[in-house]
Amino acid sequence: MTERIEIRTSQDVLRVRQRVRALAIEAGLSLVDQTKVVTAASELARNTLEYGGGGSADIELINGAHHGVRLTFADEGPGIKDIDAALRDGFSTSDGLGLGLGGAKRLSNEFKIDSVPGKGTRVTIARWK
Ligand SMILES: Nc1ncnc2c1ncn2[C@@H]1O[C@H](COP(=O)(O)OP(=O)(O)OP(=O)(O)O)[C@@H](O)[C@H]1O
Ligand SMILES: [Mg+2]
């Protein structure tokens, strides 16, 4: 079952963090892994809000070959022109540190990003035991 959280405000980013923490606990992730996936979720939710102009987070438990959580962040913002550049540490089009996307990738077991300039961005991550 997938749960959707709309991301419109920084309060929604906090709600994403809280729900991801709860699901990670339900999946039986260790405290370290819970914190990894919550941190990644927080960065991606912030990007959805800041650059995407808002969007959604779909959160689901995975209970197959792996036990964990899968998260999809989607927006209909401007998209990312150069995904390789965006993933590089230190790359930011704002005054950010440019660590969010690369950090989220390193903290995840699965990481996929689809972005179409002018259409939007979708990032899916998973963290499992
Ligand atoms: N959802 C998105 N839509 C459009 N552009 C995005 C999106 N997410 C990331 N980007 C682009 O990728 C760049 C890198 O993102 P990243 O999260 O790594 O760094 P940052 O947000 O600039 O800084 P930090 O996250 O460290 O505060 C952003 O500066 C922005 O240009
Ligand atoms: Mg960021």
CATH number at residue 77: 3.30.565.10
Taking the CA of 52 as reference, the closest ligand is 1
The per-residue pLDDT for range 69-94, each reduced to its tens digit, is: 999 999 999 999 999 999 999 999 99
Gap between the Cα atoms of 91 and 118, Å rounded: 20
The per-residue pLDDT for range 20-57, each reduced to its tens digit, is: 999 999 999 999 999 999 999 999 999 999 999 999 99
Instruction: Please give the residue range of the domain that contains residue 104.
Output: 2-128
Closest residue by Cα to residue 26 from 64, 89, 55, 68: 68
Q: Are 61 and 88 in contact (CB under 8 A)?
A: no
Taking the CA of 95 as reference, the closest ligand is 1
pTM of the model as a whole: 0.98
Q: How many domains does the structure of the chain reveal?
A: 1
Tokens for 75, please give them. 């927006």
Pocket test for ligand 1, best of 16, 46, 51, 84 (most atoms within 8 A of CB): 51
Gap between the Cα atoms of 100 and 54, Å rounded: 16
Residue list, ligand 1 pocket, CB within 6 Å:
43, 47-48, 51-52, 75, 77-80, 86, 91-94, 96-102, 121
